[in-house]
């Protein structure tokens, strides 16, 4: 298939938009900006200000994007950066804003990365919105953890679908080396190739091309492992700290012990990911393995969504 695209190589991707400024969107925007791209980072206007945002004097319209950006910045600045990989002017290349006021910005970029909440209905609405302003040739990718690429692209034009794929970054996007690229049925091979080059050459990632199966490769395996760890922790009456001591440093993973990792991921996001495999699986054993853990449901219902909410399995002090 030959497609008409203005993007001939990885170097021609200069302007990007990231939609969703949560845990992943803010981190992806920071990483793209650090690689030299100009980035608009857009989110919906929140219903209310948090106490922290009120203290900072933010308005409702800029609260979410600005505060998320600030925390991404702090996380990045706080860690040692190899000098050759770190460009201190990265933040000046990011323009945060709310989606409704800045929709037209999506008509003026080379690559749009969708990183909104893991719900098919919401993502599909976002792609319809993107299509209403996107210029032909603009690449669109989604950071979904494992929703069906084919379902997300449904209803979009053939030209949109040719330029659409999954680019699944891992958390935190700055440090995790892997990106899963998942083509949907109509994604043009040239776009898969181009996205691979951008991720590898511009963003310093290792790429695997995965099939459009529930949760792709890494999350299918990783989420299963996390659910088993949760189940065994409860079965043996371990504390969260004990389970993390066993599944973290003792296994050579000082920073990614199970429950710390789940708090970083977001417990609501984890539930969406678990639901996705269970609802799309036709295998009874797999459906049982991906049942919703009651403890996880209780934490999410209580608003303990993880680090982004100030508390999850751990409480931030
Ligand atoms: P999050 O809950 O931290 O952020 C989601 C953001 O989307 C919120 O800021 C929310 O306001 C915004 N949003 C919701 N509806 C919107 C809309 N209609 N338009 C614009 N913005 C909207 O979630 P996250 O953890 O950043 O996850 C984002 C995506 O990345 C999901 O698809 C998730 O599965 C995927 N992902 C998450 C992780 C992780 O570890 N958290 C890792 C890899 C991939």
CA 235 to centroid of ligand 1, rounded, Å? 32
Top mutation candidate among 115, 171, 222, 274 for ligand 1, by most atoms within 8 Å of CB: 115
Strand residues in 57-204 grouped as ranges (E)? 94-98, 111-114, 139-142, 164-169, 178-183
Q: Which of 21, 101, 116 is the pocket-test mutation for ligand 1 (most atoms within 8 Å of CB)?
A: 116
End-to-end distance of the chain based on CA atoms, in angstroms? 55
pLDDT tens sequence across 146-190:
999 999 999 999 999 999 999 999 998 988 899 999 999 999 999
Locate the domains of the chain by residue range: 10-209, 218-309
d(CA 122, CA 120): 6
Contact 256, 248 (CB under 8 A): yes
pTM (2 decimals)?
0.91
Give distance in angstroms: CA of 118 to centre of ligand 1. Answer: 6
**How many whole angstroms from 90 Cα to the centroid of ligand 1?**
22
The answer, yes or no, to whether residue 6 has pLDDT greater than 70, is: no
Summarize the confidence of residues 55-61 as an average pLDDT.
Answer: 82
- Atom from ligand 1 closest to the CA of residue 308: 3
Nearest CA to ligand 1 atom 41: 265
Ligand 1 mean position, distance from CA 168 (Å): 12
Q: What is the arrangement of strands in the sheet containing 206-209, beginning at the earlier edge strand?
A: 94-98, 38-43, 15-19, 111-114, 139-142, 164-169, 178-183, 206-209
Q: Which residue has the tokens 């695209």?
A: 5
Top pLDDT among 254 and 132 is at 132
Q: Which atom of ligand 1 is nearest to the CA of 266?
A: 41
Among 17, 18, 19, 20, which is best to mutate for testing ligand 1, by the most ligand atoms less than 8 A from CB?
20
Helix (H/G/I), strand (E/B), else coil: 113: strand
According to the model, what pLDDT value does residue 234 have? 97
The CA R_g of the chain, rounded to the nearest whole Å, is 19
The CATH topology of domain 218-309 is: 1.10.1040
In terms of phi and psi (left: phi > 0; alpha: psi -120 to 50; beta: otherwise), the region of 60 is alpha
78 pLDDT band (50/70/90 cuts)? very low
Task: Report pLDDT for 68.
Answer: 72
Taking the C-alpha atoms of residue 298 and residue 287, their distance in angstroms, rounded to an integer, is 20
Confidence of residue 53 (pLDDT cuts 50, 70, 90): confident
**Ligand 1 pocket, CB under 6 A:** 19-25, 43-44, 64, 99, 115-118, 122, 126, 143-145, 170-171, 265-266, 269, 308
Residue 112 CA to ligand 1 center (angstroms) comes to: 15
- 255 compared with 126, residue with greater pLDDT: 126
Question: Does position 258 have pLDDT exceeding 90, yes or no?
Answer: yes
Q: What are the helix and strand counts (H, E) for the chain? A: 13, 8
| Ligand 1, atom nearest to 126 Cα | 18
Most confident of 5-14, 43-52, 64-73, 132-141: 132-141
Cis peptide before 277 (omega within 30 of 0): no
What is the SS3 assignment for 114?
Answer: strand
Residue 317, pLDDT > 80, answer no
CB-based contact 141:164 (threshold 8 Å): yes
- The CATH code that applies to domain 10-209 is 3.40.50.720
**Residue 78 near residue 108, CB atoms below 8 Å:** no
| Tens-place pLDDT, residues 183-222 | 999 999 999 999 999 999 999 999 999 999 999 999 999 9
State residue 85's pLDDT score: 55
User: Which atom of ligand 1 is nearest the CA belonging to 272?
Assistant: 34
7-21, 127-141, 239-253: which has the highest mean pLDDT?
A: 127-141
Q: Can you tell me the distance from the alpha carbon of 163 to that of 160, in angstroms, rounded to the nearest whole number?
A: 5
- Cβ–Cβ < 8 Å for 62, 83: no
Q: Is pLDDT above 70 for 73? A: no
* Residues 98 and 65 sit within 8 Å (Cβ to Cβ): yes
Measured in Å, residue 24 CA sits from the centre of ligand 1 at 6
C-alpha to C-alpha distance for 253 and 255, rounded to whole angstroms: 6
**How far from the centroid of its chain's Cα atoms is residue 92's Cα?**
22
80 pLDDT more than 50 = no
DSSP E strand boundaries for 27-109: 38-43, 94-98
Q: What are 264-305's pLDDT values in tens digits? A: 999 999 999 999 999 999 999 999 999 999 999 999 999 999
């Amino acid at each position: 298939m030959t497609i008409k695209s203005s993007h001939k190589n990885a170097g021609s991707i200069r302007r990007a938009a990231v939609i969703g400024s949560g845990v992943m969107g803010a981190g992806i925007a920071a990483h793209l900006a650090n690689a030299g791209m100009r980035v608009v980072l857009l989110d919906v206007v929140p219903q209310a200000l948090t106490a922290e945002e009120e203290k900072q004097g933010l308005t409702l319209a800029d609260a979410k994007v600005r505060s998320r950006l600030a925390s991404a910045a702090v996380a990045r600045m706080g860690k040692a950066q190899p000098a050759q990989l770190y460009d201190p002017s990265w933040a000046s290349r990011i323009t945060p804003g709310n989606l409704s006021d800045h929709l037209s910005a999506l008509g003026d970029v080379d690559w749009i990365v969708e990183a909104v909440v893991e719900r098919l209905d919401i993502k599909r609405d976002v792609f319809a919105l993107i299509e209403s302003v996107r210029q032909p040739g603009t690449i669109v990718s989604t950071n979904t953890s494992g929703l069906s690429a084919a379902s997300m692209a449904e209803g979009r034009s053939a030209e949109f679908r040719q330029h659409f794929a999954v680019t699944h970054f891992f958390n935190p996007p700055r440090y995790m080396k892997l990106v899963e690229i998942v083509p949907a049925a109509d994604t043009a091979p040239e776009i898969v190739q181009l996205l691979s080059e951008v991720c590898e050459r511009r963003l310093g990632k290792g790429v695997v091309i995965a099939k459009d199966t529930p949760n792709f490769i890494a999350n299918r395996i990783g989420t299963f492992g996390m659910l088993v760890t949760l189940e065994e922790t409860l079965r043996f009456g371990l504390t969260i700290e004990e389970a993390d001591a066993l599944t973290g440093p003792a296994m050579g993973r000082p920073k990614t012990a199970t429950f710390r990792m789940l708090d970083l991921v977001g417990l609501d996001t984890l539930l969406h990911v678990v639901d996705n495999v269970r609802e799309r699986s036709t295998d009874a054993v797999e459906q049982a393995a991906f049942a919703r853990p009651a403890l996880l449901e209780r934490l999410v219902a209580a608003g303990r969504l993880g680090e982004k909410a100030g508390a999850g399995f751990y409480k931030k002090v």
